[in-house]
């Protein structure tokens, strides 16, 4: 009896990973090119920006809030960093400036959401408009080209084999795992998200925790934006738009609960990879454009359904084993 | 601290309501009363209502406006699709330059921010405010044609620019033919793509008339002329560079040989080019796009993109204002015309770099 529960428990814990592995196996059978090194690298490169933003989204959703400004912040901070690089030629300075811009947006988001207690949905939706306006005000609708060495943030290969975009995924993933699992701040995030009132009762400064979370989210968005611009080899503010919904999708497929308090960095990475692999295999197989959208939509629903169902079972088992 | 903040907020709110009430009054009147009377009366009333210090300013304003109406300065409104979009911004810029050549006209820009309902609201407001001419850069010409016809028949002449007239019978129209744009690039592609070449196609958003039109141009002047060419795949990349890049990365895995990328705009073609470059496969491929903005021109100069077709915003502005001038003088009621597309390739790329430097796209 005990053993059975254990097996079921691991099955539930890794439900998203199982979906991903099943998809990879199926893809490998369907297409001979799928498991080549270059193709795997391609998938990782393609999901890099979304994944970086998803980590931020995951952290914010854990606290029970949402960040809809991620995409445009990425577009704005990325483009301003490109502009500064073209003007000064300093990679360190422009990368730092981009991160500061992201942090600044996070600071403002946090001010209204954590301090003034406004709904994050509204504040970050408004911030979408503000940040996009803030970049197009300067560029006047033009894009920035000939960005020189800035493209190394998206196109360089480290040690001759590791694309820098994949390095960024790994780096940000490790940061997020440490943050969520091994710091006091991380535990506070879960506490705030699962029950804000009892978190207050336990002496957690909810305002401060949420505020810091939004600042970190802004920085992550900025880094994602700079990777995106590097990959595009141009500063294109509008390219950031829409990434926030992709990030929500990856986060939720990865097992993060919309009601807060539940979610992991690795789960988010897996969620992002599920969507990435799906896009990739459909292109490899030459699936027609409109059909692709339908399949993608249904698979996401199925993945979330599978995840939710397995979690429901988990709670019933807990009661039974008592 | 909290008290202070709340007092400040209340103050802001109060000021906000006062200001917005004031605005409402004036707009209500303007729609009801006739122009000249309104200007005088408003000035009088507002002078009474407001503090004495502000009164002289109001009088000056009223005088200015009445002066203007003596000179018959035509008020023209431009409703662009989205000032954050590169081509719309360039077109607006050229129109602003062009209006300066007509001393009897002045132009106001009201951005639609890529939202159709905003554009329709702007259109409605401009008609209500009595603009003499409206230049509409429509987001959805087919959806807007009917209302445009209604406004024109009620006495406000309108021009649809850079899109089809959507079936509107009474508005002026300055447009480029998307089929021709595709055809111009297709003719170059038909020469350059090798025998039995294999190509991939990147399309704009589903149902977009320019994407469909350009595709038709490629069909007639490339694929129908060269039946030996094989189309490997065709996907919607929604005009976006990053999506063009993603598709190309996958395609290079799926197909051992790709000779050319046919794209309905430059951004997607340039995304595919980035992917091909990263894989070291760009040397033996050719890349075709449409739009001819700064990014494409610079890429052609660097030996990346092969050819593109440009919609020359300057010509749109010149010919557009010629028509507006004639309409306002009462010579014609409306005119519909097509601006021919222009090919950009390595032969004339320097010329276009100069043009884009002048309009500020290349700094």
Distance between B358 CA and the closest CA of chain A, angstroms: 13
Give chain A's largest Cα–Cα span. Answer: 68
Q: How far apart are the first and last CA of chain A?
A: 12
Q: Is residue B66's pLDDT more than 70?
A: no
Q: Quick check: B206 and A290 CB within 8 A?
A: yes
Residue of higher predicted confidence among B52 and A70: A70
Q: How much is the pLDDT for A318?
A: 44
Report whether A229 contacts A279 (CB < 8 A): no
Q: How much is the pLDDT for B83?
A: 83
Least CA distance to B295: which residue of chain A? Answer: A145
User: A31 pLDDT band (50/70/90 cuts)?
Assistant: confident
Q: How much is the pLDDT for A210?
A: 94
- Per CB-CB distance under 8 Å, the chain B contacts of A145 are 294-295, 298, 362
d(C-alpha A103, C-alpha A94), whole Å: 14
Mapped onto helix, strand or coil, the DSSP state of residue B350 is helix
Q: How much is the pLDDT for B40?
A: 47
The DSSP H or E segment spanning B233 is strand B230-236
A226–chain B Cβ distance below 8 A for any pair: no
Report whether A47 contacts A273 (CB < 8 A): yes
How many C-beta atoms lie closer than 10 Å to residue A222's C-beta? 31
Q: Is residue B266's pLDDT more than 60?
A: yes
User: A268 pLDDT band (50/70/90 cuts)?
Assistant: very high
Q: What is the pLDDT of residues A70-106, one digit of tens each?
A: 999 999 999 999 999 999 989 999 999 999 999 999 9
Q: Quick check: B245 and A232 CB within 8 A?
A: yes
A239–chain B Cβ distance below 8 A for any pair: yes
Q: Quick check: A42 and B250 CB within 8 A?
A: yes
Residues B82-87, mean pLDDT to the nearest whole number: 81
Q: What is the pLDDT of residues B168-177, one digit of tens each?
A: 888 999 988 8
Least CA distance to A132: which residue of chain B? Answer: B84
Report whether A254 contacts A275 (CB < 8 A): no
d(C-alpha A141, C-alpha A127), whole Å: 19
| Residue B339 dihedral angles phi and psi, to the nearest 5° | -95, 125
Report whether B179 contacts B171 (CB < 8 A): no
Buried b (16+ CB within 10 A) or exposed e, A182-211: eeeebebbbbbbbebeebeeeebebbebbb
d(C-alpha A47, C-alpha A83), whole Å: 25
Report whether A267 contacts A254 (CB < 8 A): yes
Q: Quick check: A36 and B85 CB within 8 A?
A: no
Least CA distance to B301: which residue of chain A? Answer: A146
Q: Which residues sit opposite B135 in a β-bridge?
A: B78, B159
Q: How far apart are the first and last CA of chain B?
A: 48
Going B308 to B309 to B312 to B313, the CA torsion angle's sign is negative
CA dihedral B239, B241, B245, B246 (to 10 degrees): -60
How many inter-chain contacts (A to B, CB under 8 Å) are there?
89
Conformation bin of residue A141: beta by default, left when phi > 0, alpha when psi is -120 to 50: left
Q: Which residues of B touch A (CB under 8 A)?
A: 82-86, 88-90, 203, 206, 232-236, 240-242, 245-247, 249-251, 253-254, 267, 270-271, 274, 278-279, 294-295, 298, 360-362
User: B51 pLDDT band (50/70/90 cuts)?
Assistant: very low
d(C-alpha A162, C-alpha A155), whole Å: 10
Helix ranges restricted to H, chain B: 2-32, 35-49, 55-71, 86-99, 116-128, 141-153, 178-192, 209-218, 241-254, 266-278, 294-301, 313-329, 349-358
| Residue A292 dihedral angles phi and psi, to the nearest 5° | -55, -45
Distance between A17 CA and the closest CA of chain B, angstroms: 23
From the number of C-beta atoms within 10 Å of its C-beta (0-12, 13-18, 19+), residue A14 rates as: middle
Domains contained in chain B, CATH given: 71-175+313-332 (3.40.50.2300), 178-310 (3.40.50.2300)
User: A311 pLDDT band (50/70/90 cuts)?
Assistant: low
Q: Quick check: A239 and B241 CB within 8 A?
A: yes
Q: What is the CA radius of gyration of chain B?
A: 25
Of A45, A49, A289, the CB nearest to B236: A289
Identify the residue among A48, A132, A233 best suited for mutation to test binding to B, counting B beta carbons within 10 A and taking the highest.
Answer: A233
Strand segments, DSSP code E, in A41-105 are none
Report whether B236 contacts A289 (CB < 8 A): yes
Q: What is the pLDDT of residues B350-362, one digit of tens each?
A: 999 998 888 777 7
Distance between A203 CA and the closest CA of chain B, angstroms: 22
The DSSP H or E segment spanning A20 is helix A15-30
A284–chain B Cβ distance below 8 A for any pair: yes
Residues B296-313, mean pLDDT to the nearest whole number: 92
Tokens 């943030």, located at residue: A153
Q: What is the pLDDT of residues B252-264, one digit of tens each?
A: 999 999 999 999 9
Residue of higher predicted confidence among B33 and A297: A297
Strand-by-strand arrangement of the B133-136 sheet: B105-109, B74-79, B133-136, B158-161, B172-176, B336-339
Report whether B203 contacts B264 (CB < 8 A): yes
Q: Name every residue whose Cβ is closer than 8 Å to that of residue A61 and which is 6 or more positions away in sequence.
A: A193, A248, A251, A252, A256, A257, A258, A260, A263
Report whether B282 contacts A67 (CB < 8 A): no
Structure token digits, residue A145: 């080209």
Q: What is the pLDDT of residues A199-239, one digit of tens each?
A: 888 888 999 999 999 999 999 999 999 999 998 888 888 88
Of A141, A280, A290, the CB nearest to B86: A141
Residue of higher predicted confidence among B9 and B180: B180
How many C-beta atoms lie closer than 10 Å to residue A266's C-beta? 17
How many C-beta atoms lie closer than 10 Å to residue B106's C-beta? 14
Of A228, A237, A284, the CB nearest to B254: A284
Report whether A42 contacts A99 (CB < 8 A): no
Distance between A145 CA and the closest CA of chain B, angstroms: 6
Least CA distance to A134: which residue of chain B? Answer: B84
Q: Quick check: A136 and B83 CB within 8 A?
A: yes
The DSSP H or E segment spanning B260 is strand B260-263
Q: Is residue B246's pLDDT more than 90?
A: yes
Residues B205-222, mean pLDDT to the nearest whole number: 89
Distance between B102 CA and the closest CA of chain A, angstroms: 25
Residues B111-135, mean pLDDT to the nearest whole number: 87
CA dihedral B67, B72, B73, B74 (to 10 degrees): 140
The helix-helix angle for B241-254 and B266-278 (nearest 10°) equals 50
The DSSP H or E segment spanning A194 is helix A184-194
Distance between A182 CA and the closest CA of chain B, angstroms: 35
Q: What is the CA radius of gyration of chain A?
A: 20
Mean pLDDT value across chain A: 87
Q: How much is the pLDDT for B263?
A: 95
Q: Name every residue whose Cβ is closer than 8 Å to that of residue A68 and which is 6 or more positions away in sequence.
A: A121, A124, A125, A127, A128, A244
Q: Quick check: B253 and A143 CB within 8 A?
A: no
Report whether A85 contacts A279 (CB < 8 A): no
Report whether A230 contacts A150 (CB < 8 A): yes
Conformation bin of residue B286: beta by default, left when phi > 0, alpha when psi is -120 to 50: beta
pTM: 0.75
Report whether B143 contacts B116 (CB < 8 A): yes
Instruction: Determine the distance from the C-alpha atom of residue A211 to the mean position of all C-alpha atoms in its chain, rounded to a whole number.
Output: 18
Q: Is residue B25's pLDDT more than 50?
A: no
Q: Name every residue whose Cβ is closer than 8 Å to that of residue B362 and which is 6 or more positions away in sequence.
A: A145, B294, B297, B298, B353, B356
């Amino acid at each position: 009896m005990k053993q059975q529960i254990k097996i079921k428990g691991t099955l539930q814990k890794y439900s998203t990973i199982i979906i991903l592995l099943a998809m990879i196996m199926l893809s490998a059978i369907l297409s001979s090119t799928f498991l080549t090194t270059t193709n795997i690298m391609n998938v990782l490169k393609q999901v890099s920006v979304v994944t970086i933003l998803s980590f931020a989204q995951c952290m914010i959703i854990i606290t029970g809030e949402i960040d809809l400004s991620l995409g445009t912040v990425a577009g704005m901070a990325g483009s301003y960093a490109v502009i500064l690089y073209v003007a000064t030629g300093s990679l360190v300075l422009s990368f730092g400036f981009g991160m500061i811009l992201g942090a600044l947006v996070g600071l403002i988001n946090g001010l209204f959401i954590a301090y003034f207690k406004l709904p994050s949905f509204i504040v970050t939706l408004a911030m979408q408009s503000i940040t996009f306006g803030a970049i197009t005000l300067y560029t006047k609708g033009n894009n920035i080209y000939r960005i020189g060495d800035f493209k190394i943030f998206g196109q360089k290969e480290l040690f001759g084999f590791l694309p820098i975009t994949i390095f960024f995924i790994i780096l940000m993933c490790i940061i997020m795992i440490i943050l969520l699992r091994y710091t006091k701040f991380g535990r506070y995030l879960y506490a705030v998200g699962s029950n804000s009132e009892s978190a207050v009762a336990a002496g957690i400064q909810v305002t401060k925790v949420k505020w810091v979370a939004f600042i970190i989210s802004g920085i992550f968005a900025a880094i994602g934006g700079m990777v995106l611009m590097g990959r595009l080899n141009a500063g294109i503010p509008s390219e950031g738009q829409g990434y926030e919904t992709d990030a929500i999708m990856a986060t939720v497929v990865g097992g993060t609960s919309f009601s807060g308090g539940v979610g992991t960095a690795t789960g988010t990475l897996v969620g992002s990879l599920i969507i990435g692999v799906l896009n990739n295999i459909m292109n490899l197989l030459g699936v027609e454009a409109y059909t692709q959208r339908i399949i993608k939509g249904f698979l996401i629903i199925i993945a979330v359904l599978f995840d939710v169902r397995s979690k429901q079972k988990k709670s019933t088992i807990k009661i039974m084993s008592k | 601290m909290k008290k202070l903040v709340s007092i400040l907020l209340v103050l802001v709110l109060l000021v906000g309501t006062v200001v917005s009430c004031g605005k409402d009054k004036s707009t209500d009147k303007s729609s009801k009363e006739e122009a000249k009377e309104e200007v005088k009366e408003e000035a009088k009333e507002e002078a009474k209502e407001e503090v004495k210090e502000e009164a002289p300013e109001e009088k000056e304003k009223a005088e200015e406006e009445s002066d203007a109406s003596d000179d018959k300065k035509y008020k023209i409104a431009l409703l662009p699709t989205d000032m954050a979009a590169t081509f719309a911004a360039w077109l607006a810029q050229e129109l602003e330059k062009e209006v300066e050549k007509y001393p009897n006209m002045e132009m106001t820009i009201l951005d639609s921010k890529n939202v159709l309902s905003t554009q329709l609201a702007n259109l409605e407001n401009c008609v209500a405010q009595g603009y003499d001419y409206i230049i509409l850069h429509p987001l959805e010409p087919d959806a807007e044609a009917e209302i445009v016809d209604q406004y024109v028949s009620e006495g406000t002449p309108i021009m649809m620019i850079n899109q089809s007239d959507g079936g509107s019978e009474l508005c002026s129209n300055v447009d480029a033919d998307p089929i021709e744009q595709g055809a111009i690039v297709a003719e170059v592609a038909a020469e350059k793509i090798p025998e039995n070449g294999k190509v991939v196609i990147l399309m704009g958003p589903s149902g977009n008339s320019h994407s469909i039109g350009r595709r038709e141009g490629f069909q007639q002047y490339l694929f129908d002329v060269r039946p030996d060419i094989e189309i490997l795949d065709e996907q919607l990349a929604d005009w976006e560079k990053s999506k063009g890049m993603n598709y190309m990365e996958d395609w290079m895995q799926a197909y051992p040989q790709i000779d050319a990328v046919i794209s309905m705009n430059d951004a997607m073609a340039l995304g595919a080019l980035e992917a091909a470059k990263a894989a070291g496969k760009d040397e033996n491929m050719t890349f075709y796009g449409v739009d001819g903005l700064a990014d494409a021109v610079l890429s052609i100069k660097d030996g990346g993109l092969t050819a593109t077709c440009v919609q020359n915003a300057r010509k749109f502005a010149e010919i557009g204002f010629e028509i507006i001038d004639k309409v306002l003088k009462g010579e014609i009621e409306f005119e519909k015309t097509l601006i021919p597309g222009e090919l950009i390739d390595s032969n004339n790329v320097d010329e276009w770099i100069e043009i884009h430097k002048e309009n500020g796209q290349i700094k």
